[in-house]
Amino acid sequence: MNRRLNPLAAALAAAFAIPAVCHLPAFGQASPNEATLPEVRVTAGADNQSYRAIRQGSSGFVEKSQLDTPFQVNVFTEQLMKDQVSRSLVDVTKNDPAVVPSNAMPGYYDGVNIRGFELNNWSGYRREGLMFANQASQPMENKERIEIVKGLSALRYGFTNPGGIVNWVLKKPTAKPLADLTVHANEFGGVGTHADLGGRFGNERQLGYRINLAAERERTHIKEVEGNRRMASGYFDWRLSRDLLAEFEIEHQERSLPQQVNVSFNSFAPGVARFLPTAAGATTFLGQTWGTYPTEMTNTSARLMWSLNNAWMLRTAVQYSDLWRDQQSAGIRAGSLQANGDFQVTTFYSPDQTRRALTTETALEGNFETGGIKHELAVGIATMDHKVRFGDSLTPVLGASNIFAPMAVPGPIGPGLPSTMRSRNRESALFAADYVTLNPQWSAFVGLRHTRPDYITFDNTQMQTAVYDKAANTPSAGVVFKPVPSVSLYASYAEGIEQGGTAPATVSNRNEVQPPLESKQLEIGIKSEVFAGATLSAAAFKIDKGLEYVNGANVYVQDGRQVHTGAELSLSGEIARGLRLVGGVMWLDPRVERTSNTAILGKRPVNAARRQASLYLDADVSAVPGLALSGGLFHSGAKAVDAANTLFVPGYTRFDLGARYATRIAGKATVLRAYLENVTDKTYFNSTSFGSMQFGSPRALRISASTSF
């Protein structure tokens, strides 16, 4: 693969950038009143054994307990991910009823939809709070937890979609030596291994490390979708003094698999009644073996944390993200699918694409009192510079196939068109947030972010085609009332702004980037520690954002509003001795308002279900020490395939089973795990994102064995 910037160069670029950006942005996990750095890196209060996270650090600049957070934040711990033998983001987020898959095609990468809104792959996904392009499969091996922030988060993250944020939190160096080896497999012949090493060394144990190595031969429920994946990551810290901590991490992954093809609403020929491709089945490969999706991804970041005194902390962080990919996927030519399943095979051929983002964040955090009122203040600056390169795509018709009896056709010939800079998105921002404690019952926060964007798009001759540089202020505020210490009532308000969408390749203004969209959110809720080891959370919300769609003239436009009103309930933790639960339910009323297009006025947006529910139980078997059994029910309501709501995929309920056994083998602590997804082998569609009808997985068994040395 012809890379323009290798991983070592990327790592060095970030490392040497630190001295130059110490006046720029950083984000931290610890409370600002920690006096010494040995206590700075915390784990967000995660109670792994109960699957409950007591604290979270993704919704704002200061880590807070869940009870003191006036937003809905769901945290999925490493223990839950291990016990469900999770291999992808979608495997994890099935536990949150506010989240549905967006991209979950075998061979591609995962994306999600939160509260009925698709996340932007360039702004909705974060690593330790910093932006990267989510257009490659993300490795699970070096992640400590996944935090889902629901609703508007512009105060913390700038130009983002109103659905929320997915934040990946990385594994940090361990205080005690760690050496774990895991082998995992699935019933389709996929097999992989993962080593997790951690510890500290030095005369004063001032140097820490966490290294994760993984290799996998991936095989999926679609026989033809198989390939190799390799990943290596390292996280290192250096306690330069009692008050100063430096951290550096790097992650590199290479992956390549053929990509599945899905039937979309626009696939059907004129005059053909649109139908659900259920008879084709979830295991039928509609693509071509030459239609692979190879990616190379390197993310590297560095941080400095300086404890100025017992009350104030300065943090600075910089991250460089480098993604390379080829797009040479097969597809169904729009308007070619016949009633008997015949279609014309086309390709989206755009090789040698890159996404390179440099993001920084610096924050001064501290606590003080004024007239008996306690303040936790965070002020700082943030920057982002994201360069996107690709060439004009080729979409030739290559042959014919059938969705019920697929046929192989020759692949595209030629090197494709040269890759050039097509967009450069830069942001600079100032932010301030004050978390105020009035007394043990009342607390509040208020924050404001001022963001100045500089978004430029180019054509293939490097001529500018559009510029957006309008600054935006995005305020946020909330109040929390605790009638008793274990119960919180809250209300919050937030405004946001997001990057405009990019016109898809099938419309007349293809690749045109739309201007940013504004949004607003109101939310009220309650949180309670109803059990000693479990947290109950409920909220009602209303989100109002600008609408984008393809109009009758086949032009991608902005027109109208997309308004989602809903309520959600979740419970996680240990509800009885040896019995753990993760689950919830969401009710959603999503609709299109104030648009000039009467065909979609009052209709439901695509891929937004009115009802979602999940329930996962994990129980120790007292009669057999070390044994635990689990089961899960996951329900999704019907989803619209098209904006005019003329076609829906039906709702479904899926049942999973799991088991694990902790024992000792050759004197080493070992945990054996098994997880059976979709026990009844139900055929269902888990996503209609962008009009594409994506099958969920058929019955699939995943197993793993982990040994500690």
Closest to 61 in 3D by CA, of 113, 109, 129: 129
Widest CA span in the chain: 77
pLDDT band at 130 (very low <50, low <70, confident <90, very high): very high
Which secondary structure element, helix H or strand E, spans residue 156, and what is its range?
helix 154-157
Could you tell me the CA-to-CA distances from 161 to 115, 122, 153, 522 in Å, in that order?
Answer: 11, 10, 8, 15
**pLDDT, tens digit, for every residue of 251-278?**
999 999 999 999 999 999 999 999 999 9
Rounded Cα distance between 611 and 287, Å, is 32
Work out the angle at residue 55's Cα, subtended by the Cα atoms of residues 204 and 103, and round it to the nearest 5 degrees.
105
- Name the one residue in this structure whose structure tokens are 């105060």: 155
The reported pLDDT for the residue numbered 48 is 53
98 φ/ψ angles, rounded to the nearest 5 degrees: -85, -5
Which DSSP symbol is given to 78? Answer: H
The CATH number assigned to the domain holding 418 equals: 2.40.170.20
- With a CB cutoff of 8 Å and minimum separation 6, the contacts of 687 are 100, 101, 102, 103, 104, 113, 607, 639, 693, 694
Cβ(365)–Cβ(377) under 8 Å?
A: yes
Closest to 356 in 3D by CA, of 292, 426, 304: 426
Asked whether residue 390 is assigned to any structural domain, the reply reads yes
Rounded Cα distance between 112 and 135, Å, is 12
**pLDDT, tens digit, for every residue of 103-116?**
889 999 999 999 99
Cβ(667)–Cβ(675) under 8 Å?
A: no
Asked whether residue 484 is assigned to any structural domain, the reply reads yes
Could you tell me the CA-to-CA distances from 41 to 165, 243, 247, 637 in Å, in that order?
Answer: 22, 13, 10, 41
Out of 219-228, 390-399, 435-444, 589-598, pick the least confident: 390-399
Cβ(329)–Cβ(347) under 8 Å?
A: yes
pLDDT > 90: what percent of the chain?
Answer: 80
Cβ(693)–Cβ(276) under 8 Å?
A: yes
Could you tell me the CA-to-CA distances from 166 to 23, 90, 121, 132, 554 in Å, in that order?
Answer: 27, 12, 10, 11, 32
Work out the angle at residue 163's Cα, subtended by the Cα atoms of residues 502 and 233, and round it to the nearest 5 degrees.
80
As given in the structure block, the two tokens for residue 171 are: 């594994």
Query: At residue 533, does pLDDT exceed 90?
Result: no
**pLDDT, tens digit, for every residue of 555-582?**
889 999 999 999 999 999 999 999 999 9
Which DSSP symbol is given to 7? Answer: H
Quick one: average pLDDT of 327-351?
A: 93
The reported pLDDT for the residue numbered 507 is 82
**pLDDT, tens digit, for every residue of 645-676?**
999 999 999 999 999 999 999 999 999 999 99
Domain assignment of residue 394, given as a range: 7-708
Q: Which residues pair with 391 in a beta bridge?
A: none
Torsion, Cα 141 145 148 149, to 10 degrees, reads: -130
Number of domains in the chain: 1
The reported pLDDT for the residue numbered 605 is 95
Which DSSP symbol is given to 89? Answer: H
Q: Cβ of 356: how many Cβ atoms within 10 Å?
A: 20
Asked whether residue 1 is assigned to any structural domain, the reply reads no
Cβ(167)–Cβ(126) under 8 Å?
A: yes
Asked whether residue 2 is assigned to any structural domain, the reply reads no
Which DSSP symbol is given to 220? Answer: -
- For residues 565-602, one letter each, b for 16 or more C-beta atoms within 10 angstroms of the residue's C-beta and e for the rest, the string is ebebbbbbbbbeeebbbbbbbbbbebbbeebebeebee
- With a CB cutoff of 8 Å and minimum separation 6, the contacts of 695 are 262, 281, 282, 683, 684, 685, 686
Asked whether residue 695 is assigned to any structural domain, the reply reads yes
Closest to 401 in 3D by CA, of 225, 267, 507: 267
One-letter amino acid of 179: A
Cβ(658)–Cβ(634) under 8 Å?
A: no
Query: At residue 416, does pLDDT exceed 80?
Result: no
Query: At residue 281, does pLDDT exceed 60?
Result: yes
Asked whether residue 641 is assigned to any structural domain, the reply reads yes
Quick one: average pLDDT of 6-34?
A: 37
Quick one: average pLDDT of 343-353?
A: 92
Closest to 572 in 3D by CA, of 42, 76, 144, 164: 76
Rounded Cα distance between 498 and 153, Å, is 10
Which secondary structure element, helix H or strand E, spans residue 218, and what is its range?
strand 207-219
Out of 64-73, 79-88, 371-380, 412-421, pick the least confident: 412-421
Query: At residue 36, does pLDDT exceed 80?
Result: no
- Name the one residue in this structure whose structure tokens are 């009823």: 97
Asked whether residue 176 is assigned to any structural domain, the reply reads yes
The HSE-up count of residue 362 (CA atoms within 13 Å, CB side) is 14
The reported pLDDT for the residue numbered 47 is 52
Which DSSP symbol is given to 393? Answer: P
Rounded Cα distance between 655 and 443, Å, is 41
- For residues 623-660, one letter each, b for 16 or more C-beta atoms within 10 angstroms of the residue's C-beta and e for the rest, the string is eeeebbebbbebbbbbbbbbbbbebbbebbebebebbb
pLDDT band at 50 (very low <50, low <70, confident <90, very high): confident
* Gyration radius of the chain's alpha carbons: 25
As given in the structure block, the two tokens for residue 364 are: 């001064």
Q: Cβ of 340: how many Cβ atoms within 10 Å?
A: 11
Rounded Cα distance between 704 and 140, Å, is 14
Query: At residue 20, does pLDDT exceed 50?
Result: no
As given in the structure block, the two tokens for residue 379 are: 């002020």
pLDDT > 70: what percent of the chain?
Answer: 92
**Strand-strand pairing, 125-127 and 164-170:** parallel
Out of 9-23, 282-296, 503-517, pick the least confident: 9-23
Closest to 291 in 3D by CA, of 408, 137, 138: 408
Which secondary structure element, helix H or strand E, spans residue 409, and what is its range?
none
Q: Cβ of 177: how many Cβ atoms within 10 Å?
A: 11
Closest to 455 in 3D by CA, of 397, 514, 412, 521: 514
Mean pLDDT of the chain: 90
Quick one: average pLDDT of 486-499?
A: 93
Which DSSP symbol is given to 8? Answer: H
39 φ/ψ angles, rounded to the nearest 5 degrees: -100, 5
Rounded Cα distance between 113 and 651, Å, is 16
As given in the structure block, the two tokens for residue 548 are: 């984008």
Query: At residue 201, does pLDDT exceed 80?
Result: yes
Asked whether residue 234 is assigned to any structural domain, the reply reads yes
**pLDDT, tens digit, for every residue of 589-645?**
999 999 999 999 999 999 999 999 999 999 999 999 999 999 999 999 999 999 999
